[in-house]
Amino acid sequence: MTKFNQELRNQVEELKHNIIGRCKICHGKGTITDSHDDQMYSNCKCKIIFRYLSRLTKALIPSDYWALDYDDLQLSDEVRDKTSTFIAHLDRAHKLGLGLIFQGNNGVGKTSVACEIGKAAIVQGFSVRYFTLAAYVDATFAKNEDLIDYYEQGQFLIIDEVDKCSNKIKVMMDNLFRRLFNMRKVVICATNADRDTLDALLGKSIVSLLKRHCMRLIFDGEDYSEVVEDNFESRLLGEFNYYAPAIKKMAYDFEKFDLNR
């Protein structure tokens, strides 16, 4: 087992301990008996939450985005309309290998929306991976084939900070995107660079690839990170709420979808 796989397994085990292990309803069993028939069992809500959040953990979606609710995000009408349509047609996007490019300043919701799409894809049974371009580049230079393979295994790939590019890695990026699009991966990119800056950074070849496979959306608005900074002390002193409304909703949707597959 590689170091990365062991770290990921440890994170999942810690999550299981924090959610199922501390549950006062099932007392760590993960299941509850039927009130009318003690031979019938069903998943306790702690297990339903854990199964969903373990998928988010394996997708590498940062926990900062777990409890966000798409409906609460401050988005322009165009961004909400386009991304809502995309979420409603994830199966079609997967079959065709169609993705999105989000552009805008820091803190305006690009990564939040990308992770919301990733969460929706997980609920519908797709495999998802979130990583930054820098993390992928580091893994490539370190010749960490296990980590690279893990990143590329997802059917939906969220690649953040794609503006962190240099001439040295343009060939690597060109090969990466060609390989992903040839496999009909759904690629969702996020960047702080504007259109002209990103086009200059990536070069004509990569930009041409992205234009053929991804719809570009521009994000604007206030920097939400200032609101997060204002809540720093409450986050520091409080415990993470695994049963936040947005988590519960997605977890039960995931459970329902999984049972109906």
Condensed to tens digits (0 to 9), the pLDDT of residues 192-244 reads: 988 888 888 888 888 898 999 999 999 987 766 655 555 666 666 778 999 99
**Which is nearest to 46 in space by CA: 31, 36, 61?**
31
Q: In the prediction, which pLDDT does 36 show?
A: 65
pTM of the model: 0.91
Residue-range domain boundaries for the chain: 1-58, 62-229
Token digits for 114? Answer: 């990308």
Q: In the prediction, which pLDDT does 33 show?
A: 83
User: Cα–Cα distance between 44 and 26 in angstroms, integer?
Assistant: 7
Q: How much of the chain is in helix, strand and coil states, percent to nearest 5? A: 55, 10, 30
Q: In the prediction, which pLDDT does 230 show?
A: 55
Is CATH 3.40.50.2300 what the domain over 62-229 is classified as, yes or no?
no
- The tens digit of pLDDT for each residue in 96-120 reads 999 999 999 888 899 999 999 999 9
Q: In the prediction, which pLDDT does 231 show?
A: 63
Distance of CA 228 to the CA centre of its chain: 19
- The tens digit of pLDDT for each residue in 138-197 reads 999 999 999 999 999 999 999 999 887 666 788 888 899 999 999 999 999 999 988 888
Q: In the prediction, which pLDDT does 202 show?
A: 84
Contact criterion met (CB below 8 Å) for 121 and 90: yes
Q: Angle formed by the axes of helices 3-19 and 45-58, to 10°?
A: 160
